[in-house]
Each structure stands twice: as structure tokens, then as C-alpha cells.
Structure 1
């Protein structure tokens, strides 16, 4: 009898690891889908308002702006955009926007001013850059807006790749998922691709300023994939989500 119980215990113990992996994948997939909805909401907001929203800086889920978008980093304005507040781990998303794409007037130094009511023109260049590591190579540049889930560990650390996603500069990291003790990286990151944002603005009849330079160096939005989905994705190269997939 004791041998039978031992065998059953070993079998059950062996099944715990796959179950935990499945749960992790479920949570990451759910959060990834939330991020995609958020990106769609950002583009929709721009189509209606002529600019991207400023971040929520006081935790109430509302956009905080006066005339200019002074605080370009903060929380995602989930209440104003009609979306959920937290990721699958019960933590808030963080959000960063290029100020010139969220102000009420254009400040990019373009040769021509934007159409009245629009924050940016075809020539406007954003200032957010995405790397494949804190000291790594560029994944995408000139990104107008980016949303981050800090993953299961919600790490706001002082060093490393996860720290790059929680500081106040315009450089962020998106790379493969790693749950090893060091270095851990479980952030999920999705960004707005400038070419796609501007093309959608044009497609609905919004008129821009000087189009001699569209200023989009970040149009690939994708580390090593097909260049139009606005994220780093090594698992699915066409659905526009963050790459950190668990098998």
C-alpha cells in the first residue's frame, strides 16, 4: 500500500509543474489580449480626438492633461478608454506616450503645422525607443505610445531589463520571457506603430501637414518578424501581441 501511495505521490508531484506552466501561459495570454485591446483603444482615441491620450498620473484611471502632456509616463487611462484596470495578476498597467503626439498643439518642429485640432502631422517624429535589452539593439524606434504589463513578479527593479521598463526615460525593453532566477524578465509590452497610426488617421479623411517626411523609424514594431504588428513576437508573427510565450 505504501508503495502505491508513493507512486501516486510521484505522479501527482510530476503533474504540478506542467499545471503551473499552463496557468502561467493562461495568464500571459489573457494579459496579452488586454494589451491588444488597449492598443486598439489608443488608436480609436486618436481618430476621435486628433491625439493620443496622456497617462493617468494619480491612479484614478482618467487622462491627466492641461494644454500640454507634461507627464508622459504613468498609468494607462483605463477608465476614460473604457477598459479594465488590471492585468491577469491584479496589477495596473503602465503607459508612456510621446508628448508631441498627445499635446493639443504640434511641437515637433515640422515644416508645416498640423491640421487644426490634431496634435501631430505626417512629419511628426515620436521619441520612444524599444531595445532587446537594457544595453541591446533597437527593436523599434520613434514609437508614439507603449503599454507595459510588468508580469507576474511586477518587478520595479533598480537594474536590468525590467528596470528599463519602470524608469522615467523613453527607452524600454522587449525580449524573450525568462523565469530563471537571474535574469528574470516576464514583462509584456505592446506599442503603437507610427505608420499604422498615421495611415488610419489619413484613411478617415483627417488632413495632415507637411508629408515630405513621415518620420517613422519605428514602423517595424517587431523583433525579427513581419514588421507590421507593433510588438516583439517570436511565437505568432501576425497577431500583434507581445512575444513572451510559454510552451
Structure 2
């Protein structure tokens, strides 16, 4: 009686079947992990929004972006001082003064942009359309997610660069770095995967009014 083993063809077929089964299991797992990370980003964006509003109530302004990425630098995680230097056109979230996480779940720094009208004592009578922060947010179909009216435009925009870890959501218009659009909403495969949130002047005004710390500059 002779013993017969598997032929090379049979082994190849077995390995192919195992590979297909593993691939079928790993793909949904990867999708689940990305969905989990996106949910986590959504929660962290809400934390950032609350922290920015809290900062505004305490200080009467929003911080400038941070521009330092060296953890050994004393200014790491801190905003640029507007009395010493201009705010960066598009920088990093100053996470230390806000008390939030420095990076998103994919290991990228949170990006942050602020209308420079709102980094000193708030002048709520000044609207974003004065040329110092004409921001708008659009979706993958170029449809506006924010109002076109200057008075209701975002004054602060913050976002995660997404799984690809690139700021593919930011575009500037012409030579003016203060006229910028940001992509938000549902990600579009091959186009952008940034996760974006923002604060508008009406939201800021409502929080300041409810906190009874409205600045003397008026509305």
C-alpha cells in the first residue's frame, strides 16, 4: 500500500482558496477600522469645537495657529503670538492651550485656520467678508456646506487630513491666501478624505451672549 500526498497543483489551489478567504475577512476588517477611526475623529472634532468656544469665552478671542512641529521646542503646541508675528495662513491646531489631543487617529497634526479679525479682542461688528477670512466649505460635488453671505461664513476652520495624511482638502483662490475653500462632508474616493469642521460668527455670538461675556466692541 502506497501513501499519496498532495500534488503541487492541489497545494496551489488550497493556498489560493485560503488567500481568498483571508482577503475576504481582512477587507471588511480594514473597513471597520477606518469607520471606527472616522467616528473617533468626529468625536474629537466636537471636542476641539467645544475647546475653541471655551477659549473664546475665557480670552475674548481665538488663538492663532501653531507652526512648530519640533516637540523639543518651547513653542511646540502653542499659538503664534499675534503681537510678535502674523498668524500663519494655514497652520496647526494650538492643542496645548485648548487641552485637546495633538494628533488625529492617523498620526497627523490637526490643521487649523482662523480669520485674523478674531485673534485679538473680538469685534463682532466685523464680518468675515472684510477680506481677512473669506472661508467657505464645499463637498465633493463643489456644493457649499457653508453660507455664501459674508456675515455667516466660517471664522474658524479645523480639520483632520484623513487616512492619506495629506491636506488635500485645502485650496487657495488666486494670490490671496485669506480667500480659501475647504472640502468637507462625505469623503470622495481618489479626491479627498479630509474631515472638516468649522465655527461661524452666529455660533460664536450665541455662545458669548449666553455666557454674558460679550465684548464692549458691540455687535
TM over 0.5: yes
Q: Which TM class, normalised by the smaller chain length?
A: 0.7 to 0.9
> Structure 2: which 5+ residue stretches go unaligned?
1-5, 70-75, 148-152
The structure where helix makes up a greater share of residues is: 2
Q: Which residue of the other structure, out of 80, 83, 86, is the alignment partner of 1:64?
A: 80
How far residue 62 of structure 1 moved from its aligned partner, in angstroms, is 0.2
- The number of equivalent residue pairs is 188
Residues 1:120 and 2:136 aligned together: no
Aligned residue number for residue 131 of structure 1: 137
Query: 2: distance between equivalents of 1:196 and 1:42?
Result: 12
Query: 1: distance between equivalents of 2:137 and 2:63?
Result: 24
Counterparts of 1:1-247 in structure 2, within 5 Å, are: 7-59=17-69, 60-67=76-83, 70-72=86-88, 73-103=90-120, 118-121=121-124, 123-126=125-128, 127-132=133-138, 136-141=142-147, 142-156=153-167, 162-164=169-171, 168-169=177-178, 170-179=180-189, 183-208=190-215, 209-211=217-219
- 1:123-162 per-residue CA deviation (whole Å, 9 max, x = no partner) reads 22122422325893432142110111111112245xxxx3
Kept after mapping to 2: 8 A contact 1:68/1:102: no
The structure where strand makes up a greater share of residues is: 2
The 1:128–1:174 alpha-carbon spacing in structure 2 relative to 1, beyond 3 Å, is farther
How far residue 85 of structure 1 moved from its aligned partner, in angstroms, is 0.8
> Structure 1: which 5+ residue stretches go unaligned?
104-117, 212-247
Aligned residue number for residue 112 of structure 1: none
Between stretches 138-147 and 22-31, larger displacement belongs to: 138-147
Kept after mapping to 2: 8 A contact 1:62/1:80: yes
- 1:218-238 per-residue CA deviation (whole Å, 9 max, x = no partner) reads xxxxxxxxxxxxxxxxxxxxx
Pick the structure with greater CA Rg. Answer: 2
- 1:39-89 per-residue CA deviation (whole Å, 9 max, x = no partner) reads 110000000000111111223100112338722431100112111111101
The 1:14–1:137 alpha-carbon spacing in structure 2 relative to 1, beyond 3 Å, is closer
TM-score by length of 2: 0.75
Aligned residue number for residue 3 of structure 2: none
RMSD: 2.6
Kept after mapping to 2: 8 A contact 1:69/1:102: no
Kept after mapping to 2: 8 A contact 1:57/1:71: no
Aligned partner of residue 197 in structure 2, secondary structure: strand
Query: 2: distance between equivalents of 1:65 and 1:134?
Result: 35
